[in-house]
Structure 1
Amino acid sequence: METQAVEIIETEVPLEKAMSLNHSRLISRITWLLSAAYEGQYDILPELEFELSAGRLKPDVAVLPRLSYDWESDIVRYPEPPITAVEILSPTQSLDGLITKIRQGYFASGVKSAWLVLPAIRTINLYLPGKPVVLVNAGTLADPASNIEIKIEDVFR
């Protein structure tokens, strides 16, 4: 029997594409909290990529109107903007970059609200087009665009 040499090449996932533990935990927790409370009204979808007027955008969590499903035909990049886009700041992202993504990407494409979750300071910033940012670090975040409410202590428990 002949033996064959095999070269093993290790590859690293670039940090900007790697997901941290807290980032993953918050995507899961926000998706679960919103789905449990609003499943009859909205589809809460993590990591769905959109093809929008401002380009390809992929929020950590997207809130869409309730959709009908066709399990035999799938969509890789959804063409309609979500009502709300949730972005979670990870250790490898810049705050300015995410704010630009919200203001010039999401809002330019018709998204009605965006949340920027800041794990290290347990805060969620609520962005609405043309309005000042609202920082919520206690109590309840109330999003007027979607009428969704979420308790900050539930997100960061």
Structure 2
Amino acid sequence: METPVFDLIEEFHSEDIMSYNHSKIMHRLSVALDRYDTDYDILPELELELSTGKCKPDVSVFPKRAEDWENDIIFYTQPPIIAIEIQSPKQATTDITTKVNTVYFPAGVQSVWIIVPPLQMVQVRTPDGQKKTYTDGVVHDPATGIEVPFSQLFR
């Protein structure tokens, strides 16, 4: 009997594959958003179980809530104000846009940032179909007023 050959990478979802550039952008984004920590909860890699499905944005931005260190939450059920997706090296753009349109926006997410490291691009999308693409300047979020200088992400 022949043993089936398979690529170990197929055992993982394409969005779960991290890379050096993906990690670097996630770190720089978290540092850039830190100045908003008094107004918002900035939460990387939080598992969400929304009414439209399970997901895990690279970074989620929520309204500030009181800290409760004794009672943790594994799957958070409230939609973030902002969901930020950093495209992974093996992830198709349609995987992200499908998630935006079928999971994030129907659940109540107010804006989604899609960061594409190889193109050094950030696109901010809103549920009403608006899309603003940044390749320089200041990335502006219309739902929160959060601003991140593009040069802090790609320098």
Normalised by the length of structure 2, the TM-score is 0.89
- Residues 36-64 of structure 1: CA deviation (Å, up to 9, x unaligned): x2011011110001111111111000001
> 2:80 aligns to what?
82
Q: Deviation at 1:29?
A: 1.1
1:148: Cα distance to partner?
Answer: 0.4
**8 A Cα contact 2:17 2:88, kept in partner:** no
Larger radius of gyration: 1
* Residues 22/123 of structure 1: CA separation in 2 closer, same or farther (3 Å cut): same
Separation in structure 2 between the aligned mates of residue 24 and residue 141 of structure 1, nearest angstrom: 19
User: What is the rounded CA distance, in whole Å, between the counterparts of 1:50 and 1:90 in structure 2?
Assistant: 19
| 2:100 maps to amino acid | I
Distance 1:119 1:139 in 2: 16
- Alignment partner, residue 65 of structure 1: 63
Once the 2 structures are TM-superposed, how far is the Cα of residue 155 of structure 1 from its aligned partner?
0.7
TM-score of the superposition, structure 1-length normalised?
0.88
Corresponding residue number in structure 2 for 1:55: 53
1:29 is aligned to 28
User: What does residue 20 of structure 1 align with?
Assistant: 19
Query: Deviation string for 1:80-117 (max 9, x for gaps)?
Result: 00000000011111101101111111001000000000
TM-aligned CA deviation for residue 124 of structure 1: 0.2
> Relative contact order (alpha carbons < 8 A, sep ≥ 6): 1 or 2 greater?
2
TM superposition shift of 1:132: 2.8
**Number of equivalent positions:** 146
- Cα distance in 2 for partners of 1:20, 1:109 equals 29
| Residue identity matched to 1:91 | P
Consecutive unaligned residues of structure 1, counting only runs of 5 or more, are 1-11
Q: Quote the Cα distance in structure 2 between the aligned partners of 1:102 and 1:29.
A: 23
RMSD between aligned alpha carbons? 1.5
Distance 1:140 1:18 in 2: 28
Secondary structure, aligned partner of 2:66: coil
Could you tell me which residue of structure 1 aligns to residue 145 of structure 2? Answer: 147
Q: Offset at 1:127?
A: 0.3
Partner of residue 97, structure 2: 99
